[in-house]
Structure 1
């Protein structure tokens, strides 16, 4: 019976972690191999196109997990736009704290450096933002927002979350997420009043 190896999964997980912490360009294959424990021969067997293919798979895995989290939060807050937003901010804040403010958003990190490096990876990252923003817009539509308002609110919320993650990393505190949740609560209260 052939021996199974988790070298492929370890390489993807290690690349994702390193891309989230230090970015694409600063992460070398030698570092990925060393930290994942994947043998070089095994790496090129699983990723014949090298670092680019590894990045594609790390992006796909990250986006799938992000969409799963968004869907779970949406299901937990069905019909309540404000609770949805508050739970999003608290979930992102909790992840920042749990990773000691080391992990940025994989898509945001790659979006900042890939356009000049790789058009295909840039498109994959862009698709990740589009797909995850669509999940947020779906929730707002289910809360009674018009399609236009749902789309614009979702786009603004995703941008706010990404910016908040950057600020939280710099300041090493989740306070920006709390501030954004408060702004949203005040906005919703004002629009209902």
Structure 2
């Protein structure tokens, strides 16, 4: 039983890595099995609906990890919107550098392929963005933002983070994260001062 569990975990982790690097459509089941070392029979035991079911579990795992990171950053910057935004951009930049600029956002990669995805995968990806935005908006409300401003600011931050990942992958530098954090912080500081 332990081997099956190990094979399942390895398969999910391998699929997440490949989906983040090359996307869903470009990642074949054969590549996932070869790189994870999981036997084909074990794969269909754990994922009887095949690659789509695997992708559902990968998305759920990725969203859970992202939510945990956002909550952690929020907890360590309670009441401070500027520090919160700086930590968000720093954290995402650090992850990009650690992956040698290979890892995109799983949700963004899959969202770019929405016509090729089934409705359940599309729903899960959309849910991931909604949850991320809600966590950021909730933090902003805790910093004194009006709900409408918190929601708008959160949506802008999520969009900026996703765009920054794309640019950082192309340019192979985290400079865009620094630039966006500075612009965001300057804009909010200026607004608060007026």
The aligned counterpart of 1:99 is 99
Q: Which moved more, 1:94-103 or 1:114-123?
A: 114-123
The aligned counterpart of 2:74 is 74
Question: Could you tell me how far apart the structure 2 residues matched to 1:185 and 1:142 are?
Answer: 17
The aligned counterpart of 1:164 is 164
Q: Which moved more, 1:27-36 or 1:116-125?
A: 116-125
CA separation of 1:3 and 1:191: change in aligned 2, threshold 3 A:
closer
Residue 57 in structure 1 maps to residue 46 in structure 2: no
Residue 3 of structure 1 deviates from its aligned partner by: 4.5
Residue 191 of structure 1 deviates from its aligned partner by: 1.2
TM-score normalized with structure 1 length = 0.97
Structure 1 residue ranges (4+ consecutive) displaced by more than 2 angstroms after TM superposition: 2-5, 114-117
SS of equivalent residue, structure 1 residue 115: helix
Structure 2, unaligned runs of 5 or more: none
SS of equivalent residue, structure 1 residue 38: coil
| Alignment RMSD | 0.9
The aligned counterpart of 2:21 is 21
The aligned counterpart of 2:32 is 32
Residue 138 in structure 1 maps to residue 138 in structure 2: yes
Whether contact under 8 Å (2:25, 2:116) holds in the other structure is no
Whether contact under 8 Å (2:81, 2:140) holds in the other structure is yes
CA displacement, residues 121-155 of structure 1 (integer Å, 9 cap, x when unaligned): 11110011001111001100100111111111000
Question: Could you tell me how far apart the structure 2 residues matched to 1:173 and 1:114 are?
Answer: 28
CA separation of 1:171 and 1:36: change in aligned 2, threshold 3 A:
same
Residue 114 in structure 1 maps to residue 123 in structure 2: no
SS of equivalent residue, structure 2 residue 112: helix
Question: Could you tell me how far apart the structure 2 residues matched to 1:55 and 1:23 are?
Answer: 11
SS of equivalent residue, structure 2 residue 115: coil
Instruction: Kindly tell me the number of residue pairs found equivalent between the two proteins.
Output: 192
TM-score normalized with structure 2 length = 0.97
The aligned counterpart of 2:149 is 149
Residue 89 of structure 1 deviates from its aligned partner by: 0.2
